[in-house]
Amino acid sequence: MHSSDDAADDAFAHEKLVEAIENQLAGGEPPAAQATLNKLTLVGYEREEILSLMAQVLAHHINLMLEQDAPFDLQAYEQSLRNLPDLP
């Protein structure tokens, strides 16, 4: 059972992840970010929903990086974006 603090932390973290995705889209890096947005928009997803999915993928890869004490794997991240709407 999450306390309200946990929920607030989760919401804050999600907001930051979505912000990171927005920055990736604005900067065109990685290219898979924009390609994923375009693809999912074409099949009828709402922008907010797409950003949420992409944020979940980013969170997954950040967690892997921390668990493995390894650098962020951009290639794996881009591959996961391309696999959306299937989550890693």
Q: Distance between the two ends of the chain, CA-based, in angstroms? A: 24
What's the rounded mean pLDDT across residues 79-83?
A: 98
Q: Can you tell me the distance from the alpha carbon of 68 to that of 21, in angstroms, rounded to the nearest whole number?
A: 23
pLDDT in tens, 43-53: 999 999 999 99
pLDDT tens-digit profile of 9-51? 888 899 999 999 999 999 999 999 999 999 999 999 999 999 9
pTM, two decimals, is 0.90
Q: How far apart are CA 84 and CA 41, in angstroms?
A: 12
| pLDDT of 57 over the 80 cut | yes
